[in-house]
Amino acid sequence: MLQNRMRALESLNRLTRENQNEICAALHADLRKPSQESLLSEVAVTLEEIAVAKKNLQRWLKPKRMGTPLPLWPAKSRIYYEPLGLVLIIGPWNYPFQLLMAPLVGALAAGNRAVLKPSELTPNTSGLIARLIAKYFSPDEVRVVEGGIPETAELLNSKFDHIFFTGSTPVGRIVMRAASQNLTPVTLELGGKSPLIVSEDADLDLAARRIVWGKFYNAGQTCVAPDYLYVQESVEEALLERVKRETEAQFGVDPQRSLSLARIVNERHLQRLAKMIPADKIFCGGRVDASDLYVAPTVLRGVSWDDPVMQEEIFGPILPVLTYRDLDEVLGVIRSKPKPLAAYLFSNSKRVQQKFVNQISFGGGCINDVLVHLGSPHLPFGGVGESGMGRYHGRASFETFSHAKSVMYRYGFLDLAVRYAPYSDKSLQFMKRLFRI
């Protein structure tokens, strides 16, 4: 059992290592994604997940010893992890390789067979994944189903033992509804409007550098990208000037010519983003070129919650900026919204950091950085509320795709007669004392 799982993980490892140039080329063809971004967020993250699973799988598979209540002695209790069976993994278009392969690591580590459904919006990557899976795996182990909405609908109507979906909240609802018809458990990795707070005590140079990198990484098409920025009003001007300078430093005076900036996935999404950019609130950027699927790294100033850009997840290179005076007030605003997939804070104050962690609920996040928590296989990743359900990465992936089977081993040398009928007042009193009730 262990040997077969290790062999499957090594096959996925070879698939990723031996074809990294082709993977980067496919991602560039679909999203104009820079090779460095592809290698870091698609290839390296996948390889790290595989490495952690291979290193720890033997330990994860060991039966887990659990305590046994004294009234149930003599006995021992164990949890055994067994495969769920056949799982369906539906991937998104924004990180079309990694967000399909990282869940697959957990599925294979747990001993499952898998069907992969890559996104039709990134056809080059989808086609490459189909060819590589067919080369490195047998069809009864892992197979790929390509296609669009009809193919996805047909898969969702089929019987699986688990469905793992990464995508938008509206589509997540559709997936969950379909899964309910077969009572299929689901893991939903969704999104939402992830807040970013910059306090007046923050290192503004560091904040600007990391905000620009994280917000415009993959042209903002990242589920955990900061969706909007709340900055303490006393440092708004200083921070925004640094963000403007840092945008130019990272992408040049004409970001459209930069080889470090990806493109929007298609024209429909580009037009959606263009409607979110009011001309009178552009602090920097704002340019849109539909022929090049280009939206400039854009910062909007003077934004309110009534603006179109604040009504839905942006999923693009647009950063709306709001200001605040009182931290408790802004934390209250965030609590009043649906729970986000991620949240970020730049502050060097332990008091502010503790308030941030204790007073708002979110899937995961960073203090004094953005995005990078997603790259750790040691941190379970997932949403809460409308931003998703379930966790994966590292051991959490193994457990997501496993059934934890509980077994109690009893022994016969102590068998209390008071357990059995006929019951009496004496046996009742004994049981009350035994169970402390």
**Residue numbers annotated as active site:** 189, 223
CB 64 within 8 A of CB 294: no
* Tokens of residue 123, six digits: 């056809």
CA–CA dist 384, 338 (Å, integer):
9
Q: Which residues are CB-neighbours of 256 under 8 A, at least 6 positions away?
A: 287, 289, 292, 294, 296
Residue in the block written with tokens 């098409």: 221
Nearest-CA neighbor of 146 among 157, 137, 154, 138? 154
* Tokens of residue 376, six digits: 């750790």
Burial environment of residue 389 by CB neighbours within 10 A (0 to 12, 13 to 18, 19 or more)? middle
Nearest-CA neighbor of 297 among 330, 257, 344, 336? 257
CA–CA dist 67, 404 (Å, integer):
15
- Chain-centroid distance of CA 120 in Å reads 20
